């Protein structure tokens, strides 16, 4: 179903909520003690998804993982080609990472370069016992040997297409994931 604005709805608010809840269940299954877990989002929308995952885990298990923010922009390898820059968010990791399991969370997994940068950023804060990776959408086209441990939805895309993720809390429009077709 293609809309007039050249986008296709891939997930609506309900589908997003269910996918995030399922991811929370899978995380709990693999990490028996959620109180030691650190769930860190990559700004901007990865932080929102991480926040939702943490509140689901708290509902499921009664124990709350630590919520963090990992900024990756200082650790990317493509600064000179990134076009217009926006403000860098502050990395916030409330606890010592050493020996704790960690889940990094992002909205879209594409080339894998954000994830590489996140791993690099985390290594300058500490040494988690393991790092897992959760994404709302995996759209393919990896440029690095990286895969996600938890995937909300696999969305095969063409390279020229874009994935637009929106959250009501950030963008003031209903939660949605849309595929933006390449201009003809």
Give the DSSP letter string of 16-43. Answer: HHHHHHHHHHHHHHH-S-GGG-EEEEPT
Please select the residue that binds another protein; options are 8, 55, 58, 71, rule is CB under 8 A.
Answer: 71
Q: Is 76 in the site for another protein (CB under 8 A)?
A: yes
Q: Which helix (H) or strand (E) holds 163?
A: strand 162-166
Please select the residue that binds another protein; options are 82, 94, 168, 174, rule is CB under 8 A.
Answer: 82
40/102 Cα distance (integer angstroms): 7
Q: Is 165 in the site for another protein (CB under 8 A)?
A: yes
CB of 47 to another protein, least distance (A): 12
Characterize the bridge pairing of strands 7-11 and 176-180. antiparallel
Cα–Cα distances (Å) from 142 to 83, 145, 147, 151, 176, in that order, read 21, 7, 9, 15, 23
The distance in angstroms from the start CA to the end CA of the chain is 17
22/161 Cα distance (integer angstroms): 27
Q: Is 182 in the site for another protein (CB under 8 A)?
A: no
Which CB, 44 or 55, lies closer to another protein? 44
CB of 61 to another protein, least distance (A): 30
Q: Is 51 in the site for another protein (CB under 8 A)?
A: no
Q: Is 110 in the site for another protein (CB under 8 A)?
A: yes
157/11 Cα distance (integer angstroms): 14
Q: Is 114 in the site for another protein (CB under 8 A)?
A: yes
Please select the residue that binds another protein; options are 1, 5, 90, 173, rule is CB under 8 A.
Answer: 90
- Identify the three-state secondary structure at position 135: strand
Question: Where does this chain touch another protein (CB under 8 A) — which range of 23-31, 32-40, 54-62, 87-95?
Answer: 87-95
Please select the residue that binds another protein; options are 33, 77, 95, 144, rule is CB under 8 A.
Answer: 77
Residues forming the site for another protein (CB under 8 A): 44-45, 71, 73-91, 106-111, 113-114, 120-121, 123-125, 162-165, 180
């Amino acid at each position: 179903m293609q809309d007039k604005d050249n986008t296709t709805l891939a997930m609506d608010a309900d589908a997003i909520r269910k996918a995030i809840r399922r991811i929370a269940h899978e995380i709990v299954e693999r990490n028996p003690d959620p109180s030691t877990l650190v769930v860190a989002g990559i700004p901007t929308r990865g932080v929102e998804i991480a926040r939702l995952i943490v509140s689901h885990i708290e509902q499921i298990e009664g124990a709350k993982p630590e919520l963090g923010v990992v900024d990756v922009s200082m650790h990317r390898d493509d600064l000179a080609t990134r076009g217009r820059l926006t403000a860098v968010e502050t990395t916030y990791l409330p606890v010592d990472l050493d020996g704790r399991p960690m889940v990094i969370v992002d909205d879209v997994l594409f080339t894998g370069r954000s994830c590489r940068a996140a791993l690099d950023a985390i290594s300058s804060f500490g040494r988690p016992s393991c790092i897992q990776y959760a994404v709302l959408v995996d759209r393919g086209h990896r440029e690095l040997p990286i895969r996600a441990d938890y995937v909300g939805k696999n969305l095969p895309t063409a390279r020229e297409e874009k994935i637009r993720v929106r959250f009501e809390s950030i963008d003031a429009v209903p939660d949605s994931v849309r595929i933006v077709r390449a201009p003809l």
